[in-house]
């Protein structure tokens, strides 16, 4: 049984979905504006300040708890299919996470498709990582975290660092991660009637904008699909997903692959909740409990 606050999340998604399914299809700018309403689902965290920053040419927003540990940092990558979302929209939930972990968190405004296609997004994530290192933050004291597409981006950015043979982050967090761009997961179909946010159709539309009309030629490329990557040497990873969402088994399969590769994996599942339920931070107990578990993982792997 979900909380009344989580039920409100369902009601909001019904309203948004009805508006997005209008005929003719809404322009991209209108869809982005409609989805931005999700930012209002998080409560304003107390004891957190915000600071806009230029991160090696990429816009970012520091979320800084009072008395936060400045020797560590989380790079947070918002969701939205690589097409939607922003640091401004995610700042409240990132603020809750930063406060719970007592570290600074950098919400990154990575470039969006279709204006900027792959690999622009991973390039921006890597630019943020290198920028933090130039600021004096050790690699093992930096974490990549993100939700939905941002959850996959957190993983693929770490994989890129691993492939290049350089220092890798101390931890990676993926919330409701879109870890299967090839759309091969069974829960895309079995959970379709329960998940109001993500469908095979909506993901296909994002793939077209993110990778181009020939996206089928690229969706199994290990540089963007972690289910086809060599995970040997990958940093400790925390995965969380709802068993009711269409992307559930992507996290399940990634967790299995990572464990086979000897990776330190925490796979935390919840039931009945909608995609990226952590957007309800500060309002719904389910979101706050997940934030607490994620922050505990981050404290363990970043601060020891």
Q: Where are the domains of the chain?
A: 4-303
| pLDDT confidence of residue 25 | 73
Residue of 275, 290, 295, 301 with catalytic role: 275
Mean pLDDT over 182-192 rounds to 97
Q: Is 290 a catalytic residue?
A: no
Q: Is 228 a catalytic residue?
A: no
- pLDDT, greater one: 30 or 265: 265
Pairing of strands 69-77, 142-147: parallel
Average pLDDT of the chain is 94
Tens digits of per-residue pLDDT, 220-254?
999 999 999 999 999 999 999 999 999 999 999 99
| pLDDT confidence of residue 304 | 62
Task: Please count the CA atoms within 13 angstroms of the CA of 202 that sit on its side-chain side.
Answer: 23
Pairing of strands 48-55, 58-65: antiparallel
Question: Domain 4-303 in CATH: superfamily?
Answer: Alpha/Beta hydrolase fold, catalytic domain (3.40.50.1820)
| pLDDT confidence of residue 40 | 65
Residue of 42, 86, 90, 148 with catalytic role: 148
| pLDDT confidence of residue 36 | 80
Q: Is 3 a catalytic residue?
A: no
Residue of 42, 245, 295, 301 with catalytic role: 245
Q: Are 52 and 59 in contact (CB under 8 A)?
A: yes
144 three-class SS: strand
Tens digits of per-residue pLDDT, 111-140?
999 999 999 999 999 999 999 999 999 999
In the predicted structure, residue 22 carries a pLDDT above the cut 90 = no
- C-alpha 281/C-alpha 296 separation (Å) is 16
- C-alpha 71/C-alpha 142 separation (Å) is 9
Closest CA to 56 of 123, 107, 128, 116: 128
| pLDDT confidence of residue 93 | 96
- Cβ neighbours of residue 16 closer than 8 Å, sequence gap 6 or more: 34, 35, 37, 38
């Amino acid at each position: 049984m979900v909380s009344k606050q989580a039920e409100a999340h369902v009601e909001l998604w019904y309203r948004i979905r009805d508006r997005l399914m209008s005929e003719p299809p809404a322009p991209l700018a209108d869809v982005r504006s409609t989805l931005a309403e999700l930012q209002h689902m998080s409560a304003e965290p107390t004891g957190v300040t915000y600071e806009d920053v230029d991160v090696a040419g990429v816009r970012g927003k520091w979320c800084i708890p009072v008395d936060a540990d400045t020797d560590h940092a989380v790079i947070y990558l918002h969701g939205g299919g690589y097409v939607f979302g922003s640091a401004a929209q995610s700042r409240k939930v990132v603020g809750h996470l930063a406060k719970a972990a007592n570290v600074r968190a950098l919400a990154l405004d990575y470039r969006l498709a279709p204006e900027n296609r792959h690999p622009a997004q991973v390039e921006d994530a890597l630019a943020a990582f290198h920028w933090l290192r130039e600021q004096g933050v050790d690699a093992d004291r930096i974490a990549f975290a993100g939700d939905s597409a941002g959850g996959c981006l957190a993983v693929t950015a770490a994989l890129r660092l691993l492939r290049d043979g350089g220092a890798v982050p101390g931890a990676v967090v993926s919330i409701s991660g879109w870890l299967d761009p090839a759309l091969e997961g069974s829960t895309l179909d079995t959970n379709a009637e329960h998940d109001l946010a993500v469908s095979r159709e909506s993901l296909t539309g994002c793939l077209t904008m993110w990778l181009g009309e020939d996206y089928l030629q690229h969706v199994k490329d290990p540089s963007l699909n972690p289910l086809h990557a060599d995970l040997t040497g990958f940093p400790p990873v925390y995965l969380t997903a709802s068993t009711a969402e269409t992307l559930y088994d992507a996290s399940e399969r990634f967790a299995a692959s990572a464990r086979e590769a000897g990776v330190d994996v925490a796979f935390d599942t919840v039931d009945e909740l909608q995609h990226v339920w952590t957007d309800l931070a500060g309002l719904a107990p389910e979101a706050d409990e997940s934030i607490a578990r994620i922050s505990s993982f981050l404290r363990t792997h970043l601060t020891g």
